[in-house]
Amino acid sequence: MAAAKDSRTATVSRKTNETAISVSVNLDGTGTSKISSGIGFFDHMLEQLSRHSLIDMEIDVKGDLHIDDHHSVEDTGIAIGQAISKALGDRRGITRYASLDLAMDETMTKAAVDLSGRPFLVWNVAFSAPKIGTFDTELVREFFQALAQNAGITLHVLNHYGANNHHIAETCFKAVARVLRTATEIDARQADRVPSTKGTLV
């Protein structure tokens, strides 16, 4: 469904020889989600992304998990990014910018976003182990790279410190969720204007 001013929703379907993915989002939701990727840890992270952004998400992923998780994770990031961009439409009235430091136990992670229409990722996050359970930690960056490129957003993620790799990954998802929540919200003071002196963000 197409994005509209009073219904900022979108559905994207993406099929390749490696994955078949369907994503639906509602930017003005309550953070409810229905997620199935076949990758337990990734499902858990996507649930955090939905819950803390208040973006309703339905995500169904069928991927070549007999090879590894890479294609499923990256292509899910692509599809979510495309859906968010579609739901934003011309980005009229959005708050556009947000920045947040998020704490979880011993871990602190910062996320900052500009829904600029210009895709860029700055990633300053290091993991001390190659896996969290069976999940490759390098795929956390791959997901956010795909999300930023396809949503048309500038995204910075910085892990200040942390000892537990699960916590580091989770704070990345939660911090990005919270800045997306703020940046996608309609600014009542400029609800009918694109937040740019250029007059466009697309």
Q: The domain that contains 83 carries what CATH number?
A: 3.30.230.40
Q: Report if residue 4 sits inside a domain.
A: no
The β-bridge relationship of strands 19-26 and 56-63 is antiparallel
Distance CA 136, CA 181 (A): 27
pLDDT higher than 60, residue 2: no
pLDDT of 48 reads: 98
Q: How many domains does the chain have?
A: 1
171 in a domain, yes or no? yes
Token representation of residue 169: 């990954």
Q: How far apart are CA 19 and CA 125, in angstroms?
A: 27
Which amino acid type is present at position 118? Answer: R
| Burial tier of 188 (Cβ tally within 10 Å: 0-12, 13-18, 19+) | exposed
Q: Is the pTM of this model over 0.85?
A: yes
pLDDT in tens, 159-199: 999 999 999 999 999 999 999 999 999 999 988 888 776 76
- Residue 194 belongs to some domain of the structure: no
Boundaries of domain holding 120: 9-184
112 within a domain of the structure (yes/no): yes
pLDDT per residue over 22-73, tens digit each?
999 999 999 999 999 999 999 999 999 999 999 999 999 999 999 999 999 9
44 in any annotated domain: yes
Per the domain annotation, does 90 fall within a domain? yes
Whether residue 189 is contained in a domain is answered as: no
pLDDT tens digits, 101-148: 999 999 999 999 999 999 999 999 999 999 999 999 999 999 999 999
Residue 5 has pLDDT above 60, yes or no: no
> For residue 197, what pLDDT is reported?
66
Whether 64 is in a domain gets the answer yes
